[in-house]
Structure 1
Amino acid sequence: MRNRKNIVAAVSLAIALLVGGCAMETKEQARARLQAGGGQTGGDTSTVQTEAGKLTAVQFYVPSEKENNLSVIDVPTGKVVGSVKLSESPTTVVFSSTMREAYAANMNSSTVSIINTQTLKVEKEVPVGPMPHGMVLSPDNKTLYVAAVADQFVYLVDTKERKEAGTIDLGTGAKTNYMSLFGDKLYVSDHENNKVYVVNVKTKQTTLTIPTGKTPRAVKVSDDGKKLFVPAAGDGTLEIYSTDTGKLESKIAVAPGATDVVVAEDGQSAIVTSMEGNAVTFVDLAGGKPLQTLTDLPGARHIAYNRQQTKAYVTLSGSNEVAVIDTQARKPLERIKVGGTPHGITIKALPGIGGSC
């Protein structure tokens, strides 16, 4: 009878979390839910957790190129609560949907680290192509797509077997950089040839090549899959393309060196980082114009929202910090010290948890 009550309590709490987010859950409740089985989404339930490795924790993972490690930032407190030693020059990180695994691209070692997020330990390094950089994971968590800056291939990693499982050839002279995946379409930016390749992941064939502005970087696809957002560093613009036709729909001026972009859930606004411009630009997508630029953000590289999109977190590769920005007031709030030359930033949060963080 007691076990049945525990299960009912855990289910009720899980439903409450889906509605209200992490602010409704205390540490004691989180511990009880994990012990009762709530929040476990597969895999080995006997994994030993560190305090920073709790599944219910809402965190950002930030790789440091210079120090070859990864900082774990607790979102509610804004504190660094853990770290993971990685290989040479880690750049970007992606999570499995269960948040139990993270994958980090190590540029100078040409590997991908597979990280257990509960123990904060690297379980395996998978060799891939030269200078791996951008990555995306398939929705079923089975295939990791890895762009290698130094050649023309996208490398496929079988996440179950934990080994390379083939390549996608983008053609002689192509250079892969960042990627975005929507349905069967993989969008790959080529920063040297000023293009975005659209690849059918089932056939592994390029179906469309989109000419872009100078030095396209971290491309993103809208939630409905209809628009492609391309920060063009060499032109200092955010370009917006139709994913159906590949035609340019609009071009918005931002700070020089446009690097990354996040788009609000309503599709009406965006924030663009500019690494060389040491700035971020708030953009009115509906009106097709810049709204405000925040400067004094050294090497503003990559950006991620919190779950409510009330804050944006920006890696500052020039000052070894993450800047926290109030997205409504459009002003910086604080800076968090992390490892040397921080690169990517990715949020870790189970579905339904972290809604108010």
Structure 2
Amino acid sequence: MFVLNSLDANVSVINPVTWEEIRRIPTGKEPHHLYLTPDERSIIIANALSDTLTFIDPRTAEVQRTVRDIVDPYHLRFTPDMKWLVTAANRLNHVDFYKWDGKELTLAKRVATSRTPSHIWIDSKSTTAYVSMQDSDELVAMDIATQSIRWRTKTGAMPADIYGSPDDKLLFVGLTGSDSVEVFDVSGVQPSSIKRIKTGSGAHAFRAAGDKRHLYVSNRVANTISKLDMQRQEVVDTYPVPGGPDCMDVSADGRFIFVSSRWAKKMSVVDTVEKKVIKQVPVGKSPHGVWTLQHAPR
């Protein structure tokens, strides 16, 4: 299991049996998010202030390589067909499209955006990248083939993470400056905001429960995690989590949520049956991204 320590410039490796931090792997400055390549051969850690990507073997936790000159990679996502890597430059207000040939990344285009591009979601057909604009309160759709903006629409306050429904028709957007998740219908030529689901203050990051119906959202200010029914578009359960819950992963059987407690320097384990935190593992400063090898389907 990996937990990114954003202010320590490293990643904690945790034994999920003993719940001990067994070592730390140096990265670049401010590692915020990580992503498993679709072929599952590498975990990529985006180091925003070092302009680098660290590739790590997800099974052995060995560093495979470091890719340099990736400008301000705050958030990242591969297209499902593995032809493109898309990165959001949170500080520099642009989104980069990199071609991927299986070995090397080549910058195809840098697209200027509005203020503070935050999180990225890519549809299942590898055609559209959706990016939240945290300080412009916008959601932007980008055509991947042409690397151009298709549309933009206003959102609620401080949009952060994005999650798409399995049929690609709906987008769920966490409103960190509010207490809700905003739902957009993106099945037409233009998007439509159809609902706001009240979850808790600081609605921020998502992780699928693994059943293609339910979705978890961390409410960073409220110190809770909400379970959403994507079909009914409502909250069906809530779990208390101290310390500013942020990024999450879910165990393969769907019972446990592993979440970074951002302000407490810990990784918390939530039992969704007992509905409480059952374990907290000390990690580094400002823990952010979380990933486990034995995880529920995304």
- Structure number with the higher strand fraction is 2
What root-mean-square deviation, in Å, do the aligned CA atoms of Structure 1 and Structure 2 show?
A: 2.4
- Identity of matched residues, %: 19
Equivalent-residue separation in structure 1 for 2:278 and 2:225 (angstroms) = 14
User: Do the aligned residues in 2 keep the contact of 1:279 with 1:298 (CA within 8 Å)?
Assistant: no
Q: Which residue identity does 2:262 align to in structure 1?
A: S
Give how far 1:220 is off. 1.0
| TM-score, L = length of structure 1 | 0.74
Superposed CA deviations along residues 256-305 of structure 1, whole A, max 9, x for unmatched, are 11111223344543321122333222334444443444345112111121
Tell me, yes or no, if structure 1 residue 186 matches structure 2 residue 129: yes
User: Do the aligned residues in 2 keep the contact of 1:116 with 1:123 (CA within 8 Å)?
Assistant: no
Equivalent-residue separation in structure 1 for 2:266 and 2:279 (angstroms) = 10
Tell me, yes or no, if structure 1 residue 65 matches structure 2 residue 10: no
Instruction: State the match for 1:280 in structure 2.
Output: 225
User: Do the aligned residues in 1 keep the contact of 2:21 with 2:283 (CA within 8 Å)?
Assistant: yes
User: Do the aligned residues in 1 keep the contact of 2:159 with 2:175 (CA within 8 Å)?
Assistant: yes
Equivalent-residue separation in structure 2 for 1:313 and 1:255 (angstroms) = 19
Q: Give the number of the structure whose alpha-carbon radius of gyration is greater.
A: 1
Within a 5 Å distance, the mapping from 1:1-357 to structure 2 comes to 60-117=1-58, 118=60, 120-121=62-63, 123-130=65-72, 132-159=73-100, 160=102, 162-171=104-113, 173-182=114-123, 183=125, 184-245=127-188, 246-349=191-294
Listed as ranges, the gaps of 5+ residues in structure 2 are none
Superposed CA deviations along residues 89-123 of structure 1, whole A, max 9, x for unmatched, are 11111122343322111122222223344461251
Superposed CA deviations along residues 150-201 of structure 1, whole A, max 9, x for unmatched, are 2232123445454441334144x34311101112111111001111111111
Greater relative contact order (Cα 8 A, min sep 6): structure 1 or 2?
1
Listed as ranges, the gaps of 5+ residues in structure 1 are 1-59
The SS at the match of 1:108 is helix
- Structure number with the higher helix fraction is 1
**Residues 107 and 140 of structure 1: is their aligned pair in 2 closer, same or farther, counting only changes over 3 Å?**
same
Q: Which residue identity does 2:204 align to in structure 1?
A: T
The SS at the match of 2:160 is coil
The SS at the match of 2:136 is coil
Equivalent-residue separation in structure 2 for 1:168 and 1:209 (angstroms) = 17
The SS at the match of 2:178 is coil
**Residues 102 and 355 of structure 1: is their aligned pair in 2 closer, same or farther, counting only changes over 3 Å?**
closer
| TM-score, L = length of structure 2 | 0.87
Give how far 1:319 is off. 1.0
How many residues are treated as equivalent by the alignment?
Answer: 291
